[in-house]
Amino acid sequence: MGGDPHSGGCCPQYHLAVELIGRRWTGAIVAVLLADGPLRFSELKSEVPGLSDRVLTQRLRELEAEELVERAVHPGPPLRVEYALTPKGVELQPVVRALESWGQRWMSCGADGAPKADAARSTSAS
């Protein structure tokens, strides 16, 4: 069960990476920052519908702690704070693009654009 991803065990670094990016809303935040570049808090929030201020703050702090996102304070007036991906965060681009592509091929959304999670669960339960 070493670090070899083909050995049948789960590589600890892989597990840590999946747990970080797989947290609710984290992938969406990274994808928006990849697509739109540096954004203010309110801009990020508006790009990810359904994301609360509390969760966005928490996820940004987690991403900052992992050095994937940097927070830049621009003196005012008005004072402006922007969030941007670091070079380490930008390296997630191929992973995020691959997930987007896979999702477009295999995941279903309703007319409102929301994922059809209930349909997927009921299909897998039968």
Number of domains, the chain = 1
Residue 78 preceded by cis peptide, ω within 30: yes
Beta strands in 1-126 (DSSP E): 39-40, 69-74, 80-85
Residue 37 inside a domain? The answer is yes
Is the per-residue pLDDT at 123 higher than 60?
A: no
Is the per-residue pLDDT at 120 higher than 60?
A: no
Residue 7 inside a domain? The answer is no
- The model's pTM: 0.78
d(CA 13, CA 2): 11
Widest pairwise Cα distance in the chain: 59
pLDDT band at 119 (very low <50, low <70, confident <90, very high): very low
Q: Residue 107: give the domain boundaries.
A: 12-125
Residue 16 inside a domain? The answer is yes
Residue 108 inside a domain? The answer is yes
CATH code for the domain of 44: 1.10.10.10
